[in-house]
Amino acid sequence: MDRYGAERVLNVVAPVSDSDALEVDRLLEEKLGRLSLTAWQPRNMAWHASQIVKQVDPGAETAAARMAHEGRKVTLDHGVYAQSRISADLPSDVASAAFARVDAMARKLRLGDSSRNLDQLRADVFADLLLGNDPGVTVPQSAAMVYLHMPIDTALSMSETGASIDGIGPIPATYAREIMTNPKSIWRKVLCDPATGNPVDLGRSSYRPTSTIRTLVEVRDRMCVVPWCRRPARHCDFDHQQQWTKDHGSTAVDNAGPRCRKHHRLKNAPGWINHYDPAHGTSSVTTPLGVTYTDKRETVLEPRPPEPDNEPYWVQFRCSEAGSSSRWCS
Ligand SMILES: [Zn+2]
Q: How far apart are CA 8 and CA 47, in angstroms?
A: 9
Cβ atoms of residues 57 and 20 within 8 Å: yes
Ligand 1 mean position to 266 CA, how many Å?
A: 9
Mark whether 55 and 104 lie in a shared domain.
no
* Any domain includes 140: no
* Any domain includes 305: no
> What is the 3 state secondary structure string of 289-324?
CCCEEEEECCCCCCCCCCCCCCCCCEEEEEEECCCH
Q: Write out pLDDT tens, residues 221-255.
A: 888 999 888 888 878 888 887 765 556 666 667 78
Ligand 1 mean position to 275 CA, how many Å?
A: 13
Q: How far apart are CA 263 and CA 265, in angstroms?
A: 5
Cβ atoms of residues 107 and 118 within 8 Å: yes
Mark whether 43 and 178 lie in a shared domain.
no
Cβ atoms of residues 253 and 156 within 8 Å: yes
Q: How far apart are CA 153 and CA 161, in angstroms?
A: 9
Mark whether 237 and 282 lie in a shared domain.
yes
- What are 282's strand-pairing partners? 277, 296
Ligand 1 mean position to 219 CA, how many Å?
A: 16
Ligand 1 mean position to 119 CA, how many Å?
A: 58
Identify the pLDDT of residue 117: 94
Ligand 1 mean position to 22 CA, how many Å?
A: 50
Q: How crowded is residue 38: how many other Cβ atoms within 10 Å of its Cβ?
A: 9
Identify the pLDDT of residue 328: 24
- What are 78's strand-pairing partners? 84
Mark whether 162 and 195 lie in a shared domain.
yes
Q: How far apart are CA 16 and CA 23, in angstroms?
A: 10
- How large is the average pLDDT for residues 121-127? 96
* Any domain includes 249: yes
Q: Write out pLDDT tens, residues 33-82.
A: 887 777 777 877 888 888 888 778 877 777 777 777 888 999 999 999 99
Mark whether 158 and 30 lie in a shared domain.
no
Mark whether 242 and 192 lie in a shared domain.
no
- How large is the average pLDDT for residues 88-113? 87
Ligand 1 mean position to 287 CA, how many Å?
A: 14
Ligand 1 mean position to 257 CA, how many Å?
A: 11
* Any domain includes 143: no
Q: Which domain holds residue 188?
A: 149-210+310-328
Cβ atoms of residues 250 and 244 within 8 Å: yes
Alpha helices in 35-59 (DSSP H): 42-56
Please report, in angstroms and rounded to a whole number, the separation of the first and last CA atoms in the chain.
Answer: 50
Q: How far apart are CA 144 and CA 140, in angstroms?
A: 9
Stated pTM of the model: 0.53
Ligand 1 mean position to 244 CA, how many Å?
A: 24
Mark whether 227 and 272 lie in a shared domain.
yes
Ligand 1 mean position to 295 CA, how many Å?
A: 13
Q: How far apart are CA 16 and CA 22, in angstroms?
A: 10
Ligand 1 mean position to 227 CA, how many Å?
A: 8
* Any domain includes 168: yes
Ligand 1 mean position to 222 CA, how many Å?
A: 12
- How large is the average pLDDT for residues 28-32? 87
Mark whether 195 and 324 lie in a shared domain.
yes
Ligand 1 mean position to 265 CA, how many Å?
A: 10
Mark whether 177 and 240 lie in a shared domain.
no
Mark whether 314 and 206 lie in a shared domain.
yes
Mark whether 11 and 160 lie in a shared domain.
no
Ligand 1 mean position to 213 CA, how many Å?
A: 20
Ligand 1 mean position to 282 CA, how many Å?
A: 15
Ligand 1 mean position to 230 CA, how many Å?
A: 7
* Any domain includes 273: yes
> What is the 3 state secondary structure string of 125-173?
HHHHHHHCCCCCCCCCCCCCEEEEEEEHHHHCCCCCCCCEECCCEECCH
Going by C-alpha positions, the residue among 98, 103, 145, 135 that lies closest to residue 122 is: 103
Mark whether 289 and 315 lie in a shared domain.
no
Based on the structure, what is the number of domains in the chain? Answer: 4
Q: Write out pLDDT tens, residues 200-213.
A: 555 555 555 567 67
Specify which of 95-104, 198-207, 214-223 reaches the highest per-range mean pLDDT.
95-104
Q: Write out pLDDT tens, residues 266-309.
A: 888 899 999 998 878 899 999 999 999 998 887 665 555 555 55
Ligand 1 mean position to 226 CA, how many Å?
A: 5
Cα 65-44-103 angle, rounded to 5 deg: 70
* Any domain includes 82: no
129 pLDDT tier (thresholds 50, 70, 90): very high
Identify the pLDDT of residue 155: 78
Q: Which long-range contacts (CB under 8 A, 24 or more apart) does 181-184 make?
A: 181/209, 181/210, 181/213, 181/250, 181/251, 181/252, 182/210, 182/319, 183/208, 183/210, 184/319, 184/320, 184/321, 184/323, 184/325
- What are 191's strand-pairing partners? 201
* Any domain includes 78: no
